[in-house]
A and B are shown apart, each in its own frame.
Chain A
Amino acid sequence: MSFIKAEGISKSFQTAAGTRDVLRHVSLAIDRGEFVSIVGAMGSGKSTLLSLLSGLTQPDTGTVSVGGTVTRGVRNDSAVVFQNYSLLPWFTALENVRLAVEAACPELSKHEQRARATQTLERVGLSNALHKRPRQLSGGMRQRVAIARAFATRPEVLFLDEPFGALDALTRETLQQELARLCRDDDRQVTTVMITNSVEEAILLSDRIVPMIPGPLDYARGARGAPATLGTPIPVDLPRPRTTAQLAHDEQATQARAHVVAALTAALGKKRSNSAPQPDAAAAVLRPVAEEPR
């Protein structure tokens, strides 16, 4: 019985050029406690999918359910980490985290809320930066605050939207390890959905990887006119803790990597072969129906 279930969700946006279908009939099932990464190129609709899963936006058709109940709006047992940190610049690190705790755990006393926020920030190594404002912090530290803000509310479900996308390679690696540690340490199993464009990152952190395949080019509506679909999920059965160094030589990791890359580039190949400007025929033949993930 899957915990998070997206069934036949579609989403389109109105743009100056007309309606743009970003997702069409996408389905996805995630088990409780699972860490699933959705990997895809920029602009393939990953973020749209995540904001639908998290309840930040509503699908045009289809439903998202978590734990058997259909989500309408963001659930109180879930947390989201954005790529651009989304910290409030007029609050200190502690105040930013406290705001989340106060909103999510009104049953705790002020003192307990503060203690929870402080303790979570300490867990991500920010005990010295509690009273600093975001602009006094480096990108990596800001994202730590954002991660602390998410974990402080003890969420059941965690949505990560390219959490390390804006960081330099070294910081990125440290934070990936910290996130893995936080997910492992937590006494309760957190179900996590992460969006990323890095296959390495997905292999390092996930139980399963779902490739996001952009729709074929549609010349009538400009590039990426057609909706994206999800490929077959690829399991990553590697023991934890994992390290980047170890994964570089691991047979299974190499295989998983090859699998994901193949799934993603197959779509690119399809696009290239279809680059003749015959929009109608192309759309009819090559706009794939979403595959049910197995």
Chain B
Amino acid sequence: MTKRIINLVLPLCGIALAVIAWWAASRMVSDLPSPARTWEESKLYILEPLSKRGETDQGILLLAYYSLLRVARGFLLGIAMGTPIGFLLGVSRTLTRMFDPIMQVLRPISPLAWLPLGLVLFQKSEPAALFAIAVCSMWPTVINTMMGVRAIPQDYWNVAKVLRLSRVTTFTKIIVPATLPYMFTGYRLSLGIAWLVIVASEMLTGTPGVGGFLWQEYNSLVYAHILLAIITIGVVGFVLDRLMGMAETKLRTI
């Protein structure tokens, strides 16, 4: 019981300290809004989270919803590409050797670098953003799926051999179930990256969403809303990670 209270109180203390630090910083930097002013100016967005007053002047949940929708599409595209690639690389050492250098080079490229290429390729901002999200977020899925296939115990391969399972049956009944926990770890990491990429891509393309909002409010000098957007991005990212984490633990128990 006391442990529970401590578990609840300590994080609250941490938050309080962070807010105090924020407040102190706002005293020193004149352009940084204080916590109180941020709340005052953001109230409307938080208390009416779903209202739509204009193209970019919308409730925070609505903005987050646009971003989430975009992330979901980019992320799904990313794992739809990443999962099969991961399986192929996991099964074939030759393919791994062939593509490993390319992967290592592509992996650290920032979303800011992919986005202009996407714009060149697709001409429009929306598909370019999806392209950037997909290309940046697929790597953890590729790598974890590959590792998962490699980690399948020899016993299971022996079962496949001894039962003379066809390639398709081996894939659906052995490789996929055995790899599933690894795949989900990959998905979780990929989703985290997709959410990181969204802000950059919205900022560059100016599409409505949390990131677009952030950039627009910076340009119109409403600095309190920058902080609102930052906190929203953090909270949504945290919730997403927790949800994926829950799905992951569910799968692990199988």
Cβ proximity bits A86-129 to B, threshold 8 Å, 1 near / 0 not: 10111100000001101110000000000000000000000000
CB distance from B18 to the nearest CB of A (A): 44
Contacts of B166 in A (CB 8 A): 103
Do A82 and B173 touch (CB < 8 A)? no
The reply to whether the CB of B92 lies closer than 8 angstroms to some CB of chain A is no
In the complex, B161 has a CB within 8 A of chain A: yes
CA distance in complex: A42, B97 (Å): 37
CA distance A74 to B164 in the complex (A): 7
The distance from the CB of A108 to the nearest CB of chain B, in whole angstroms, is: 15
Count A-B contacts at CB 8 Å. Answer: 43
Instruction: Give bound CA distance, A21 to B130, whole Å.
Output: 56
Contact-residue size bin, chain B (C-beta under 8 Å from the other chain): 10 to 19
Q: Does A205 contact B (CB under 8 A)?
A: no
What separation, in Å, do the CA atoms of A79 and B164 have in the docked complex?
10
Question: A43: CB under 8 A from chain B?
Answer: no
Collect the chain A residues with CB atoms within 8 Å of residue B163's CB. 99-100, 103-104
Q: Are A82 and B155 in contact (CB under 8 A)?
A: yes
Q: How far is the CA of A155 from the CA of B222 in the complex (A)?
A: 78
- Is B173 a contact partner of A79 (Cβ separation < 8 A)? no
- With both chains docked as a complex, state the minimum distance between the C-beta of A21 and any C-beta of chain B, in angstroms: 21
Shortest Cβ distance from residue B124 to the other chain A in the assembled complex, whole angstroms: 43
A80 at the interface (CB under 8 A from B): yes
Query: Which residues of chain B are within 8 angstroms of A99 by Cβ–Cβ distance?
Result: 163, 165, 169, 173
The smallest beta-carbon distance between A13 and chain B, in angstroms, is 14
Shortest C-beta distance, A160 to chain B (Å), equals 12
Return chain A residues, CB-CB under 8 Å to B254.
Answer: 89-90
A156 to chain B, nearest CB (A): 14
Task: Pick the most buried of B164, B174, B177, B178: most chain A CB atoms within 10 A of its CB.
Answer: B164
Known contacts A84-B155, A103-B165; can you find 5 more A-B pairs with CB under 8 A? Answer: A56-B158, A76-B164, A79-B162, A86-B159, A103-B164
Which 7 A-B residue pairs are closest in the complex by CB-CB distance? A90-B177, A86-B155, A80-B162, A103-B163, A100-B163, A86-B159, A103-B165
